[in-house]
Structure 1
């Protein structure tokens, strides 16, 4: 009995030790700290884990494109040195967090994840490179947006994206509210990728973002997933 108890305690300690080691291997840094760490690291291994299409439009200088959702992610990632620091980023941080976990499982010793992804990086006015302007969809101008929010009714703007899980989870009830409350409030969903210039100009640094306006003035903002019940309280 005592030997079984000892074995269970030993296994528990080993499990917790491994968990702690994995967590310790991954650090999520805000954009400015991430940029400074990149700058001070000799020959950093920088992985953009988004799609090739996203990478083509814009990416961080000297980043390699290794798509986390590609079947050959592990094969490509294995080509990098596991003993040296590796930096990962995506659009808003979700995919890079998955990539960081995968790299830790593969044995990488020092992993840095960009908090908020390239959206928050842009909101902090940090440099990007190789922007293919032919593929950039600028969308709505700031003047058009100002006209949109200038109304005798409340206006709710929902910044969203097709690849954003929480955005898609909220979509059904946002559309329901759009129809249900159309006489009291104007609800507009704007795709962040289709309105890139507007998003960067407003320094939207994460999705989903909801902003409520009255008489053209912002009165409430929420970043991240919110339930229908909570959203109704602000309408």
Structure 2
């Protein structure tokens, strides 16, 4: 008998062994638009060593409130449910690589 796979929740994602970089953003935010291609390139380069997800703070106000997001973009790196790093504002790709490499086997 085939079972439908369980839908992955935000908690499932951030509690994983693989580091997860969460981009809290807003559609109207200029710096957020600057981060988008940086994160896309970063995610492509890192492959399965890190997971990158985006959360729109206007569509997910509870998540924004839970993590005390006061400005966008805010990037938070989670691993095994713990916040390993957090920064607001535009972050360059090489800086993201240095930060994430501390928490991966790469």
Distance 2:44 2:96 in 1: 15
Tell me, what secondary structure is at the counterpart of 1:152?
coil
Is 1:225 the counterpart of 2:90? The answer is: yes
Structure (1/2) with the larger strand percentage: 2
Distance 2:66 2:82 in 1: 17
1:171 alignment partner in structure 2: 36
Tell me, what secondary structure is at the counterpart of 1:234?
helix
Is 1:181 the counterpart of 2:73? The answer is: no
TM-score (norm 2): 0.79
Equivalent of residue 205 in structure 1, options 70, 73, 78:
70
Kindly report which structure 2 residues correspond to 1:18-167, keeping only aligned pairs within 5 A, or say none.
144-167=9-32
Distance 2:58 2:26 in 1: 7
Distance 2:54 2:43 in 1: 9
Question: Structure 1 unaligned runs (5+)?
Answer: 1-143
Tell me, what secondary structure is at the counterpart of 1:212?
strand
Distance 1:165 1:222 in 2: 17
Deviations 1:158-183 (A, max 9, x none): 11111111110111020122222231
Deviation at 1:153, TM superposition (A): 0.7
Structure (1/2) with the larger helix percentage: 1
Deviation at 1:219, TM superposition (A): 0.7
Q: Which aligned runs of 4 or more in structure 1 are off by greater than 4 angstroms?
A: none
TM-score (norm 1): 0.37
Question: Structure 2 unaligned runs (5+)?
Answer: 1-8, 101-106
Distance 2:32 2:44 in 1: 18
Q: Which has the higher contact order (CA 8 A, sep 6+)?
A: 2
